[in-house]
Amino acid sequence: MKNRRWMIRGVLGLTMWSTIGLGVAQAGVILPVNTSAPFSPMTNSAVSISIFQFGIDITDRWLPEPGQTVQIVVNGLASDVATSITFVPPVFANPIANSSLTTSAYPGVCTNFGLDTGGPAFPDFSLVGNNLTSNDCGGMAVILVNGLTFILPQDSNFNGIPDIWEAIFCPPANPCPTGKEDNEAGGSQPGDGIAAFDEYRGFMVSGVHIRTDPGQKDLFVHLRNPKCGTASLLGGGGVTYPTDGTSLFANVNTISGAQIHPLGYATPNANHAATDEWVDNLVDAVYNATTNTVTFTISNTTTDRQINKNAVYPVLDTITLNTIQKGLRITECLDTSVTTNPPMGSAGLGTPNGPDNAVLYTQRIVNSINGLITAGGTRPVRYFTYDGATPVLMFTSAGAPTDADRNFIISKAIQFYLSMELGHSVKLTPTVEGTRKTTYGYHHAPGTGSNLDQTIINTLDATFNSFYVPAFYNSNDDAAYRLHK
């Protein structure tokens, strides 16, 4: 049997689903199907099935969740006819690909989670009486009721994606008739490396099952810390940034047309261990004073950061020539040995499928901002962000900067530098910028107002110590956004 430890989360996932578009409509029914391909519904059948949970008809919104149990209710049989409900066990891992009217047995539990290899030994459902339990994030159950064959949930075009999900997330402008499509709308670049079916099946993200929208690009990110030191500034140390209650990835979330998913930890602790929600092969990361870079030791670079290990329809990357889709890792480094114009972060330029091990030098950021605040003496600190290229005042301290004021500015700086490095890793600045006298590299000029600006602007006048920190990506860069090639 597949892992069932997500039972409560499966119920919560069902509740959440009812709030994002399906609503609570008048209950529908599931029809039997013809037993020859393409297994279309028998629209004139008098017998149908409804799905109940906790005594409530949820047929119109039921999608499988791991560990979730529902009840099968048969409609249309005469009261004196005995009801026989039986289970059609798996023959293939993917019955769709084999035109087999049998229960699915997809590998793993979700697209990114679970270790089983799939196949008949790992059915995606079990049936006891009329109680149907899902062991998978998106399986297909096939049952027999008095000789009639039913596919649960109903899947009229037999592509593995239920009708009720397909109706919302596979619109005419961006259809997914086979489930193999990777056609994210918007921009001129390829999709996100995840096929529509695998987006329907979904992912475990910080311990919660989510289904993703095949019309938007999905980027999975994960924090590993600390390296190059022990007292993490992003969790487990004396101060945890950001201190204002906002997400470390708040700025990253402003990439237009993208969904950003921070992956959680296998066992949360002060050292932020590896997650079981992707393939994490990081062994160590050590600061190299000679090259002023972090040297990574990775046990297997091919699969490291893979987020689609259980993909039913893996998508080919035309550069790497494999079907492994990766996420981004941001590794905290606490090195402070570089004191002259030290970089605040680094990352590879391209896509997550490249060697994009992003680094954030948190202690350098803290020291730099504290130094600038100290240089301002008792002047109140001000925080500006941008509306386009126009600075907008967001915060002014009540007087001489307190520790809380310092930490607020530091928090905004950390969010900015993190989003800059992850922006490089998805190629939001595809070309070198600057002039013959000044080059900004793969950055915008300071003051442009983008998360890809070269640096934060600090000004000191007779009254205020002001920090201009971008919080959004330049919308002109969104067309360059790449997750694979």
- The secondary structure of 343-354, three-state, reads CCEECCCCCCCC
Task: List pLDDT tens digits, range 61-87.
Answer: 999 999 999 999 999 998 878 789 999
Amino acid found at 420: M
Across 400-435, b (16+ Cβ under 10 Å) vs e yields ebeeebbbbbbbbbbbbbbbbbbbbbbbbbeeebee
Ranges 107-111, 214-218, 315-319, 353-357: which has the least confidence: 353-357
What is the full DSSP assignment across 342-407? --SEE--SS-TTSS-EEEEEHHHHHHHHHHHHHHTTTPPEEEEEEETTEEEEEEE-SSS--HHHHH
> How many angstroms separate the CA atoms of 45 and 367, rounded?
72
Peptide bond into 38 cis (omega under 30): yes
Q: Please tell me the number of Cα atoms within 13 Å of 102 on its side-chain side.
A: 16
Q: Give the separation between CA 80 and CA 423, rounded to whole angstroms.
A: 66
Bridge partners of residue 381, in order along the sequence: 465
Proportion of the chain above pLDDT 90, given as a percent: 72
Q: Which residue has the higher pLDDT, 127 or 275?
A: 127
390: pLDDT confidence band, cut at 50, 70 and 90? very high
Determine the Cα–Cα distance for residues 125 and 104; give it in Å rounded to an integer: 8
Confidence of residue 271 (pLDDT cuts 50, 70, 90): low
Lowest mean pLDDT among 22-26, 207-211, 225-229: 22-26
The domain ranges of the chain are 1-161, 216-480
Instruction: Give the residue ranges of DSSP H helices in 90-249.
Output: 163-169, 196-201
What is the pLDDT at residue 437?
A: 80
Summarised one tens digit per residue, pLDDT across range 241-251 is 999 999 999 99
Query: What number of other Cβ atoms are within 10 A of residue 12's Cβ?
Result: 14
> Strand (E) positions, 123-247?
125-128, 131-134, 141-145, 148-152, 203-205, 208-210, 217-227
Identify the band that residue 323 occupies on the pLDDT scale cut at 50, 70 and 90: very high
DSSP 8-state secondary structure symbol assigned to residue 321: T
Show Cβ contacts of residue 382 under 8 Å, excluding neighbours closer than 6 positions.
Answer: 393, 395, 396, 397, 464, 465, 466, 467
